[in-house]
Amino acid sequence: MRAPKFHRHGELLICTDEKCGMQILEREHPTQLARPGHPEKRENNYIRHGTRTLIGSFVVATGLVIWDLGQTRTNVDFANHVKQVLEHVHDYDSTTWILDNLNIHWSLELCAVMAAAKGRPYQPRALRTGKQRRAFLTDMDYPHYFVYTPKHGSWLNQVELWFSVLARRFLKRGEFGSPEEFERRFTQSMMDYNENHAHPYRWTYTGQPLVRDTPFSQTRRQQLRGRAWFGTRPQRFERYLHSPRPYRRSKPELAGNL
């Protein structure tokens, strides 16, 4: 939420993640576009031309996306991507990176790249374990450092929002005749997005616990504040159609006569 303020002071917040297994699909027959009185008709069968992996970095304050498209997702691929992003944002005094806990996000190759960017000594013998590497990368005493999202909290990474936009606008209904065509059209789409459509997202999460993890005594309070779209009581039509079963059932008449 404070990323725009940090951006004005020369501090950049970057959200980075990978989107793997983007399939390059071609339909066996051309799609018939929609026209008045007739819906779009699309062939169900497809021809698969392989997959591609996207490594993307979303600049929170501006919405700019820095990306790399390749066939693999290795330690070297991610380290090269981080190096490219640092060269792209060299005008800023410091950068904060938001990432999940994937092992390529705290590799030895990445430590070497960040050590060169931070201007600090690099000693591979002191970075043999993952705990040591994570401590090295999350050191806030240097201008460039990482922040890892908690487990099961990767949705806190804003690049996931942009990935959903990419899937809907480019991947979901795309038809590509070859990997070369896919890469060419993807490059054109990304250039158009950064020039004409890039924008920061309005982040509304304030750190409050989600409604599902909140006791019933506080759910009504959050509903009044607009943080929950549902209440604990069933809707009126649900109460009419599905009346609640009473806890205590009446005794049968035979038992009463006995």
**pLDDT by residue (tens digit) across 41-64?**
888 889 999 999 999 999 999 999
**Is 148 domain-assigned?**
yes
- The one-character DSSP state at 170 is I
User: Do both 11 and 125 map to the same domain?
Assistant: yes
Strands 11-27 and 94-99: parallel
Beta carbons within 8 Å of 241's beta carbon, 6+ residues apart: none
Q: 207 — alpha (psi -120 to 50), left (phi > 0) or beta?
A: left
51 is in which domain, residue-wise? 3-29+40-197
The pTM of the full predicted model, rounded to 2 decimals, is 0.77
User: Do both 112 and 188 map to the same domain?
Assistant: yes
Q: Answer whether 78's CB lies under 8 Å from 107's CB.
A: yes
User: Do both 8 and 134 map to the same domain?
Assistant: yes
**pLDDT for the residue numbered 53:** 96
**Is 34 domain-assigned?**
no
pLDDT, tens digit (0-9, with 9 covering 90-100), for 85-120: 999 998 898 999 999 999 999 999 999 999 998 788
**Is 257 domain-assigned?**
no
What is the tally of helices (H) and strands (E) in the chain? 9, 5
Residue 220 has pLDDT above 60, yes or no: no
Give the whole-angstrom CA distance, residue 242 versus residue 145: 55
